Amino acid sequence: MAEGRQTFRHDTFGNEAHWTGVLKLHQVIESAVDPKTALSVGLKVDADAVPSAVLQAIRNGTADLDSPATTLALIQADAVVGVKGTVQTIDGVQRLTRVGITCALCHSTVDDSVTQGIGRRLDGWPNRDLDPGAIIALSPALDEVTKAVYRSWGPGRYDARFNMDGQNKPVVIPPAYGLADIHRITFTGDGDSIAYWNRYVAVTQMGGLGSFSEPRLAVNVRHGTEDRVDAKLDALQAYQLSLTAPKAPAGSFDSAAAARGRVLFAGKAMCITCHSGDTFTDANERLHPLTASMAEPETPSYASRSATKLYRTSPLKGVWQHPPYFHDGSSPTLEHVVERYNERQQLQLSPQEVQDVAQYLKSL
Ligand code: HEC
Ligand code: HEC
pLDDT tens column, 64-122? 899 998 999 999 999 999 999 999 999 999 999 999 999 999 999 999 999 899 999 99
Which residue among 214, 241, 268 closes a domain?
241
Residue 320, pLDDT score = 98
| CA-nearest residue, atom 35 of ligand 1 | 198
Atom of ligand 1 nearest to the CA of 82: 5
Cα 166 to Cα 164: distance, rounded to the nearest angstrom = 6
Q: Tell me, what's the pLDDT at 77? A: 94
Q: What is the pTM of this model?
A: 0.96
Indicate the residue among 216, 241, 266 that finishes a domain.
241
pLDDT value of residue 110 = 98
The answer to whether position 138 is within a domain reads: yes
Q: How confident is the model at residue 224 (pLDDT cuts 50, 70, 90)?
A: very high
Q: Which whole number is the average pLDDT over 176-201?
A: 96
Per-residue pLDDT, 339 = 98
Residue 287 lies in a domain: no
Average pLDDT over residues 124-134: 97
Same domain, 95 and 152: yes
232 and 134 together in one domain: yes
- Residue 292 domain-assigned (yes or no): no
Other beta carbons within 10 Å of 221: 16
Helix 255-266, helix 351-363: angle, nearest 10: 100
Ligand 2 proximity of 177 Cβ (cutoff 6 Å): no
Contact 125/105 with Cβ under 8 angstroms? no
Maximum CA extent, the chain: 72
**SS3 for 172?**
strand
- Whether residue 137 is found in the same domain as residue 168: yes
Residue 310 is assigned to a structural domain of this protein: no
Query: Strand 45-46 to strand 118-119: parallel, antiparallel, or no bridges (unpaired)?
Result: parallel
Mean pLDDT of 223-249: 96
Q: Is residue 166 part of a domain?
A: yes
Ligand index nearest the alpha carbon of residue 180: 1
What single-letter DSSP state applies at residue 221?
A: E
pLDDT at 125: 98
Bridge partners (DSSP) of residue 80 are 45
Count of domains forming the chain: 2
**30-44 mean pLDDT:** 92
Q: How far is the CA of 285 from the centre of ligand 1 (A)?
A: 22
List the one residue out of 199, 27, 7, 208 whose CA is nearest residue 100. 208
Q: Is 247 part of a structural domain of the chain?
A: no
- pLDDT tier at 14 (50, 70, 90 boundaries)? very high
Ligand 1 within 6 A of CB of 257 = no
Distance 320 CA to ligand 2 centre (A): 14
% pLDDT > 90, the chain: 95
CA distance 112 to 83: 18
**Residue 81 φ then ψ, to 5°:** -60, 125
**In this structure, are 271 and 210 located in the same domain?**
no
Alpha carbons 38 and 29: distance in angstroms, whole number: 9
Q: Omega into 332 within 30° of 0, i.e. cis?
A: no
Same domain flag for 266 and 183: no
**Single residue among 241, 268, 301 that ends a domain in this structure:** 241
Distance 313 CA to ligand 2 centre (A): 6
pLDDT at 98: 96
With cut-offs at 50, 70 and 90, classify the pLDDT of residue 197. Answer: very high
CA-to-CA distance for 139 and 25, rounded, in angstroms?
6
Cβ 50 under 6 angstroms from ligand 1 = no
Q: 212 with 161, same domain? A: yes
Domain that holds residue 342: 255-280+315-363
Structural contact between residues 244 and 229, judged by C-beta atoms closer than 8 angstroms: no
Residue 132, Cβ neighbours under 10 Å: how many? 26
Q: How far apart are CA 5 and CA 240, in angstroms?
A: 8
Q: Are residues 186 and 263 in the same domain?
A: no
314 lines ligand 2 (CB under 6 A): yes
Whether residue 136 contacts residue 101, with contact meaning beta carbons closer than 8 Å, is answered with no
- C-beta of 321 in contact with ligand 2 (< 6 A): no
311 lines ligand 2 (CB under 6 A): yes
Q: Compute φ and ψ for 185, nearest 5 degrees.
A: -110, 145
The 3-state DSSP class for residue 235 equals: helix
Residue identifier of the C-alpha nearest atom 16 of ligand 1: 186
Tell me, yes or no, whether 27 and 173 share the same domain. Answer: yes
Identify the CA nearest to 14 among candidates 112, 114, 75, 86: 86
Predicted confidence (pLDDT) per residue in 305-345, tens digit: 999 999 999 999 999 999 999 999 999 999 999 999 999 99
Q: Does residue 121 sit in the same domain as residue 209?
A: yes
- Which residue's CA is the closest to the ligand 2 atom numbered 39? 271
Tell me the C-alpha distance between 304 and 310, whole Å: 7
Same domain for 320 and 347, yes or no, is: yes
Give the model's pLDDT for residue 270: 96
Are residue 275 and residue 200 in the same domain, yes or no? no
- CA 334 / ligand 2 centre spacing (Å): 11
CA distance 9 to 78: 10
Q: At what angle do helices 68-76 and 52-59 cross, to 10 degrees?
A: 140
Any atom of ligand 2 within 6 Å of the Cβ of 212: no
Given a contact cutoff of 8 angstroms between Cβ atoms, the answer to whether 85 and 76 are in contact is: yes
pLDDT value for 90? 94
> In the chain, count of helices (H) and strands (E)?
15, 10
Identify whether 69 is part of a domain: yes
| Helix intervals (H) in 117-232 | 132-136, 144-151, 162-165, 194-200
Q: What is the pLDDT of residue 259?
A: 98
Give the tens place of pLDDT for each residue, 133-186.
999 999 999 999 999 999 999 999 999 999 999 999 999 999 999 999 999 999
**286 domain-assigned:** no
How far is CA 268 from each of CA 156, 209, 257, 319, rounded to the nearest angstrom? 33, 51, 15, 21
My answer on whether 272 and 131 are in the same domain is no
